[in-house]
Structure formats: structure tokens, C-alpha cells
Amino acid sequence: MRPPTVRGTGTKPGDAPATETGGEGSPEGYKRGLGTRQIQMIAIGGTIGTGLFLGAGTAISQAGPSLIIWYAVAGLVLLLVMRALGELLTHRPVSGSFAEYAREFLGPFWGYATAWTYWIMWVTTGMAEITAAGQYMKYWFPGVAQWQTALVSLVVLLAVNMISVKAFGELEFWFALIKVVAIVGMILVGVGVLVIGFGDVGDTASVTHLWKDGGIAPNGAHDSLMTLQIVLFAYLGVELVGVTAGEAEDPQRNIPRAINSLPLRFGLFYIGTLIVILSVVSWTEFAPGVSPFVAAFAKIGIPAAAGIVNFIVLTSALSSCNAGGLYSTARMLRTASVNGHAPKGLGRLTARGVPAPALVVSALTMGLGVLLNALDPDHAFAYITSVSTGGAILVWSVILVTHMRYRKAVAAGAAEASPYRMPGAPYTNVLALGFFAFVTVLIAWSADTRVALYVMGVWVVLLVLGWVVLRGRKRAA
């Protein structure tokens, strides 16, 4: 019997996209230049960004020690999302990743909508990161205008990405390594303060800070829950490992290994770090807009702490802009192009397998972030993070729904089963989707974050209008 065709795709589940062209290294024409160590570090670096280094300060001042609970809950939900994505990736590794799977199992509109939503999500995040990099550079170059340092940072990252995927992977490897060493160092210093009692806070540091300074949720359950949007933003980028599938060496082995290490990474980098920081220094010492790492190092009294931490947060911002802002957006933009959902020129690759036109468009769009910060510096970061979180919730939800459709196709014999399976599906899919719906309600509850829903509403309208125009052109052709 002939396998059934998924409605609206024109292909059987499990088939490679008809619009993708062949090429050396991977089905999409990319070069498989990302090795095991680079894939592992991209996976690690994708879960450590400005949301942790900077955004956690605001969340701590609002939620107190209860923030640890929300990082644990959100980490479990994101682990389910990544297991679902991992099953799809081992079914058929492609660089378009979740956008391609959405097109294959949900229909062409969803592939188009997912690619463009992921692009706008990371472009807006890149705006925040590149502007933050400009602010951090002023620590060493106070006489240079912020927009100039931000522009130089963006140009350098663009130049590296234009060389080859191997050059990108090497730069991201070192960026991620710096972040990992910094967090491990912070944890070791904190444990040393708690056990040995050295530093300026040695006499007051205690794990009792986690419950004695007003309780676990000192500002009440409402204020504590309202930090979930900030928590999800901190996890933004965990899905980046999926975008690397088309350029990864031996993706069937490396992708599951990267995803399987997520519980350890979440436990160490988020939960472990917060437990140590909030034990060494009371949550009452942290303020909105101030990095908890900077505050903790300053309280401990480590020499040159400000310069060290400033370097760390600078590399964190550059890493996020490099991996998410440029690398992933260019791949998604090219996926949209080769599927006929973006200008044809954006689908071109250089001889080294680099989507140069898509890279340039993403970089130029991110450059608008400097202008946004100049117009409204007090609210720009909150606006951008809430919009990015809204986009991430949409993309993560699409991954979960796509996985459910994939499982149905497997049960019907229309697609091959993957050896790497998501546990508890489809019940775990529904559980994760319910969590995202709950966070969306919380975003709507606050006036500061509600703007994200307005923006996402306008974005959905633009997506539908764009789809109508595309379909009209195809009918005319």
C-alpha cells in the first residue's frame, strides 16, 4: 500500500523536501564542518546568555529564592521540547530543522510561519545582545560612542560567519568555553565562601538565606510567578543545536549526545549557580538591571571583579549574537527562501557553503537595535525580551505539535520511527503545551510584558497576509 501524503505538503512524511537542492556534505548544500566538541559547546553556550548573566538580577529582586524553583520547572519543560526535537532530528537531520518538520507534518503554511517567526525572534534578541555588547565595551573605552562599539562588534561577527561554518563553530566554541569556565569558577568560589568563609561575606554567607530572609517567595506567589517570562528568556537558545543538524558531523550520534547532557547543564548552570549565589549573598542585595554575577563578586571582594565579570558578560552577549542572531537566522531565512517563502536570492550559498545574502540581511536588521535603545533605553530590554519570549513560545509549541503529528505518521506506517524517542508522548507534549499557555497568560497579565502579545498579534496578521500574497503569486505563475 502506498504511504499516505500529509495534507498540504505534497510529500510523504519522512521524504526530503522537494525544494532543497543537493550539495556536498548535507542534503541542503551546506558543509558538515561542525565537529563533536563544537556541537557540544554550541549546545552548552545556547543555554547560557544575557538572560542569566543580566536578566536574573531583575528576577531575583522580584521572586527571591523561589526563582530557583521556576528555573527547575522551566528546565524540565524545555527538556521535553528538546527530546521531541531530538526525535525529529534523528528521523531526518536537516538545517531547516523545526521549520522543515513543521512544513512536512503540519503543512506548508506552518513551515513558512515557523521559519519567519524564528527569524524575527532571534533578530530582536540579537538587537538586545549587540546593544548590550556596546554598553559593556564602554567599560574599557568610555570615550567611544556606544553605537560605534556595537557596530564594530556586529561587523566582526558577520565577517567570521561569512568565512565558513567551521570558523563560526570555532569562535562559538571559545565563547561558550569562557561562559562555562566563568560559571564553574563562580560556583567554586561560592562554595569556598560557604565552606571556608573567606571574602568579605564569609561571616554572613549561609544556605539559610534561601528561606530565612522573608521566606522562599518573599514578595508573594503573584510576583514570583510573574518572573516565568524572564526565566523562559534565559533558556532562549536551547534549540540552537537543532539548527546545526545540517552542518554537523555524524548528527545521528552528536545531536542525541548534546540533548542528553541538558539535565546536567540546566542543573549546573542555572539551578546550581542560583543556589550558590543566593546562599552567599541574600536576595535582598540584588537590584533590577544589575548582573547578579557582578553584584556577588563585588560583595565577596574579589580583586578586579568588575573587569573580569564585564569581560564574561561581553563574551556572553557576543556569543548569543553570533550563534542565535547571525548563524541561526541566516539558516532559517535560507530555508524560507528555498521553500519559496522568501526572495530567491536569499537562498544562495557561497563556495564554502555559507548563506551569505541571508547573513547580510539578518545583520542589517539587527543593526536597528541600536536605534531602538537610543529611542527608549529604559524599556527597550524589557520590550525586546518579552517579544523574543513570545516568539520562542510559538516556536517551541510548534515543535511539540509537529512531534505529535510525526508520531501519528509513524503509527500509520507513513514515516520511519526514530531510535531516539521522547518519553511519555503524547501526554508530555500536552503537559508542556499547557505550561506555555500558562506563561502566555502571565505575559498578558503584566502591563510591562503585555506589549509582546500586541506585537505577536500584529506579527500573526503580517504572516497571514504574506502567505496570502505568496499563494496568489504562485497561482498566477
For 309-336, give one letter per residue: b (16+ CB within 10 A) or e: bbbbbbbbbbbbbbbbbbbbbbbbbbbb
Nearest to 354 by CA among 173, 161, 167: 161
- Residues 6+ away with beta carbon under 8 Å from 328: 118, 122, 240, 243
What are the 10-residue block averages of pLDDT along the chain, 477 residues in total? 39 41 49 66 66 76 93 94 92 78 93 89 81 78 80 88 82 83 86 87 89 92 89 82 68 81 84 91 84 80 75 83 82 85 87 87 82 64 70 92 96 91 94 95 82 84 92 77
Determine how many CB atoms are found less than 10 A away from the CB of residue 240.
22
Nearest to 84 by CA among 436, 432, 439: 432
> What SS3 string covers the chain?
CCCCCCCCCCCCCCCCCCCCCCCCCCCCCCCCCECHHHHHHHHHHCCCCHHHHCHHHHHHHHHHHHHHHHHHHHHHHHHHHHHHHHHHHHHCCCCCCHHHHHHHHCCHHHHHHHHHHHHHHHHHHHHHHHHHHHHHHCCCCCCCCHHHHHHHHHHHHHHHHHHCHHHHHHHHHHHHHHHHHHHHHHHHHHHHHHHCCCCCCCCCCCCCHHHHCCCCCCCHHHHHHCCHHHHHHHCCCCCHHHHHHHHECCHHHHHHHHHHCHHHHHHHHHHHHHHHHHHHCCHHHCCCCCCHHHHHHHHHCCCCHHHHHHHHHHHHHHHHHHHHHHHHHHHHHHHHHHCCCCCHHHHCCCCCCCCHHHHHHHHHHHCHHHHHHHHCCCCHHHHHHHHHHHHHHHHHHHHHHHHHHHHHHHHCCCCCCCCCCCCCCCHHHHHHHHHHHHHHHHHHHCCCCCHHHHHHHHHHHHHHHHHHHHHHHHHHC
pTM for the whole structure: 0.83
Indicate the residue type of 318. Answer: L
The pLDDT assigned to 28 comes to 57
The pLDDT assigned to 350 comes to 86
- Residues 6+ away with beta carbon under 8 Å from 74: 228, 231, 232, 235
Determine contact, residues 382/52, Cβ cutoff 8 Å. Answer: no
Determine contact, residues 205/300, Cβ cutoff 8 Å. Answer: no
**CA 76 – CA 56 distance, rounded (Å):** 18
The pLDDT assigned to 31 comes to 63
Angle, vertex CA 297, rays to CA 293 and CA 302, nearest 5: 150
The pLDDT assigned to 64 comes to 93
End-to-end CA distance of the chain: 34
Determine how many CB atoms are found less than 10 A away from the CB of residue 24.
9
Angle, vertex CA 331, rays to CA 330 and CA 334, nearest 5: 85
**CA 137 – CA 148 distance, rounded (Å):** 10
Determine contact, residues 235/47, Cβ cutoff 8 Å. Answer: yes
Determine contact, residues 270/183, Cβ cutoff 8 Å. Answer: no
Determine how many CB atoms are found less than 10 A away from the CB of residue 364.
12
**CA 24 – CA 351 distance, rounded (Å):** 10
The pLDDT assigned to 430 comes to 97
The pLDDT assigned to 476 comes to 73
Half-sphere exposure of 434 (CA within 13 A, CB side): 7
